[in-house]
């Protein structure tokens, strides 16, 4: 079989401050930098990416590989028109020049928004279909945070979503999508598809498949796929693939939200499977409520847990400045809380501050000086921390992230340093990447296993590498550009009736006279939070 491979990944936060330009895709920012043609296979080999898993299957099956282009950028505001059109046109041009193809594999995210269009993946798929024609099967691997449109599902022939968050199965998902492509190419058939939307959004930290209820929702997909296999009349009608997309909530588009997708040999089997996925998700709504802490409360709770005995650090997730969801990885709320509490044996990372990193390099290891660290101009109260600090180490920022999430990705964080403020160590870098690998502390001289408290600029992906050493994990809501609760986002374009959080307020249509949504949006969300607080719950 002669198969073309292409990838174009971006998770878009439409409320974030900085867009994804072409340079962001060339850098990668936690992904493999943009690569084209024959270099693709070597660039992604051994890395936890959908394209890597697909290449492994392709080589095992003896396919003739036609690698076109792969590009990914760290989550941010929408992709610029220039970047989208450049990369999409390169993919289409490569497909047109590829000659006869038996299939196409696409490594996509599912939640891409560009300056000039809401449905990035739908547009990519439409252009790919136009380039290869209706007779060539297209299979796609997707992130479980995809905001999937029905038009996208209509264009591709098969699509498979991740089943883990932290995403430790990206390569495995690519392999599953490649095997579906092989099934279509060898049998000459296309599966029936079913698509259903669900009714509520979930805060990102509590979408984790490491605990209930998401753990059971995703493990249940395997059972759904097994239904009907080899059972008399049902033989041949078993479900080929079942996917639950939780959705990426920080996207003010009509397709934002959770979806269920099933592929099967018959339409009836696909419909039944999609209904079962959707029903399980709806029933799980009460289980998604959980506890968060303010910065001061998080530090106090971490100290309490540290005093209970055991080994390893207490890890605090600074979720509202998670660069994996559009944060800037520079806010100072948690750093201030650590300093004010005079914590000993703590470390925080990554704080993206090229000026502080450059100053540390200029002064050299062992020097002491007054530093201005971090701060995000988009938040009124998030000014830099001005403090005397010691330069403990400096680094060029190059490291090999071998934990389960990054899975062997080589990161370049630019000029970096470790600054010590009393008993608090701060890892500052020049380039942004989500703190989801212990090596992202080690490269700066901080041994994560030896700290009492670790603060990570991440919501969930850190769990893959840090949970095995943690004596406890806390989710903190320090001020940041990515609100923990979707109900705090100023939505105006969601589909009416979508609940903005589990058991939370519904979004309604925008009023023509005011241009504001009622009763959804921030005003209703604040009222909802006050009601919850009267019942003693801790709400961000």
Q: What is the pLDDT of residues 479-524, one digit of tens each?
A: 998 899 999 999 999 999 999 999 999 998 544 455 554 544 443 3
Q: What is the pLDDT of residue 536?
A: 33
DSSP state, residue 432: -
Burial zone of 227 (CB within 10 Å; 0-12 exposed, 13-18 middle, 19+ buried): middle
Query: How many helices (H) does the chain have, and how many strands (E)?
Result: 15, 21
Statement: the pTM of the whole predicted model exceeds 0.85 = yes
**What would the CATH number be for the domain defined by 2-288?**
3.40.50.280
Asked if 18 and 117 count as a contact pair (C-beta separation under 8 A), the reply is no
Q: Retrieve residue 168's tokens.
A: 């430790």
| Domains of the chain, residue spans | 2-288, 295-476, 486-540
Q: Rounded distance, CA 182 to CA 64, Å? A: 12
Closest CA to 19 of 97, 99, 80: 80
Q: What is the pLDDT of residue 377?
A: 82
How do 409-412 and 398-401 pair as beta strands?
antiparallel
Asked if 85 and 115 count as a contact pair (C-beta separation under 8 A), the reply is no
Q: In what order do the strands lie in the sheet with 192-197?
A: 192-197, 259-264, 239-245
Q: Rounded distance, CA 300 to CA 342, Å? A: 11
Q: Rounded distance, CA 107 to CA 177, Å? A: 9
Q: How far is CA 182 from CA 57, 70, 172, 402, in A?
A: 9, 21, 15, 30
Burial zone of 522 (CB within 10 Å; 0-12 exposed, 13-18 middle, 19+ buried): middle
Residues of the chain with pLDDT under 50: 230-236, 510-512, 517, 519-540
Q: What is the pLDDT of residue 519?
A: 46
Q: Rounded distance, CA 302 to CA 436, Å? A: 19
Closest CA to 242 of 153, 139, 163: 163
**69: CB partners within 8 A, 6+ apart:** 6, 7, 8, 34, 35, 36, 37, 40, 87, 90, 91, 94
Tokens 């498949």 appear where? 209
Q: Rounded distance, CA 150 to CA 92, Å? A: 22
Rounded-to-10 torsion of CA 144, 145, 149, 155? -40
User: Can you say whether the dihedral through the CA atoms of 246, 124, 115, 330 is positive or negative?
Assistant: positive
Q: What is the pLDDT of residues 210-234, one digit of tens each?
A: 999 999 999 999 999 986 554 433 3
Q: How far is CA 458 from CA 351, 442, 484, in A?
A: 12, 17, 12
Q: What is the pLDDT of residue 296?
A: 97
Query: What phi, psi does 198 have (nearest 5°)?
Result: -115, 180
DSSP percent split of the chain into helix, strand, coil, nearest 5: 35, 25, 40
How do 344-352 and 423-429 pair as beta strands?
parallel
Q: Retrieve residue 346's tokens.
A: 């703590």
């Amino acid at each position: 079989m002669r198969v073309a491979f292409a990838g174009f990944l971006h998770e878009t936060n439409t409320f974030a401050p900085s867009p994804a330009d072409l340079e962001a895709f060339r850098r990668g920012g936690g992904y493999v930098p943009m690569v084209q043609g024959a270099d693709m296979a070597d660039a992604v080999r051994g890395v936890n990416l959908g394209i890597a898993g697909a290449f492994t299957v392709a080589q095992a099956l003896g396919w003739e590989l036609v690698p076109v282009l792969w590009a990914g950028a760290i989550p941010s505001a929408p992709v610029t028109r220039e970047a989208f059109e450049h990369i999409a046109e390169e993919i289409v041009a490569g497909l047109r020049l590829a000659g006869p193809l038996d299939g196409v594999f696409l490594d996509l995210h599912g939640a891409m928004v560009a300056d000039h269009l809401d449905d990035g993946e739908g547009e990519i798929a439409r252009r790919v279909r136009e380039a290869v024609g209706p007779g060539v099967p297209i299979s796609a691997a997707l992130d479980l945070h995809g905001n999937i449109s029905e038009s996208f599902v209509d264009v591709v022939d098969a699509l498979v979503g991740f089943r883990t968050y932290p995403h430790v199965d990206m390569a495995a998902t690519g392999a599953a999508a490649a095997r579906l492509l092989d099934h279509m190419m060898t049998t000459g058939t296309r599966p029936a598809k079913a698509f259903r939307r669900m009714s509520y959004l979930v805060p990102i930290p509590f979408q984790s498949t490491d605990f209930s209820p998401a753990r059971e929702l995703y493990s249940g997909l395997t059972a759904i796929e097994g239904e009907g296999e080899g059972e008399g009349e049902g033989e041949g009608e078993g479900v080929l693939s079942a996917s639950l997309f939780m959705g990426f909530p920080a996207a003010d588009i009509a397709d934002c939200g959770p979806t269920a997708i099933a592929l099967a040999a018959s339409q009836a089997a696909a419909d039944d499977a999609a209904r079962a996925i959707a029903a399980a998700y709806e029933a799980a709504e009460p289980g998604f409520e959980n506890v968060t802490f303010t910065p001061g409360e998080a530090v106090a709770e971490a100290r309490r847990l540290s005093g209970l005995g055991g080994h390893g650090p207490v890890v605090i997730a600074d979720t509202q400045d998670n660069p994996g969801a559009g944060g800037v990885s520079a806010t100072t709320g948690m750093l201030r809380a650590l300093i004010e509490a005079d914590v000993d044996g703590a470390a925080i990372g990554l704080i993206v501050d090229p000026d502080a990193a450059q100053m540390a390099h200029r002064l050299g290891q062992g020097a002491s000086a007054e530093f201005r660290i971090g701060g995000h101009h988009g938040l009124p109260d998030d000014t830099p921390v001005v403090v005397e600090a010691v330069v403990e180490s400096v680094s060029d920022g190059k490291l090999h992230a071998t934990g389960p999430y990054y899975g062997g990705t080589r990161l370049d964080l630019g000029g970096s340093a470790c600054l010590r403020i009393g008993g608090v160590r701060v890892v500052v870098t020049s380039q942004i990447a989500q703190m989801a690998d212990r090596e992202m502390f080690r490269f700066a001289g901080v041994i994560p296993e030896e700290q009492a408290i670790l603060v990570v600029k991440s919501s969930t992906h850190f769990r893959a590498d840090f949970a095995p050493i943690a004596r406890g994990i806390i989710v903190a809501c320090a001020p940041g550009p990515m609100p923990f609760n979707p109900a705090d986002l100023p939505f105006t374009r969601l589909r009416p009736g979508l609940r903005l959080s589990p058991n939370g307020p519904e979004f309604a249509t925008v009023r023509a006279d005011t241009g504001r949504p009622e009763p959804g949006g921030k005003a209703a969300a604040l009222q909802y939070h006050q009601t919850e607080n009267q019942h003693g719950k801790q709400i961000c």
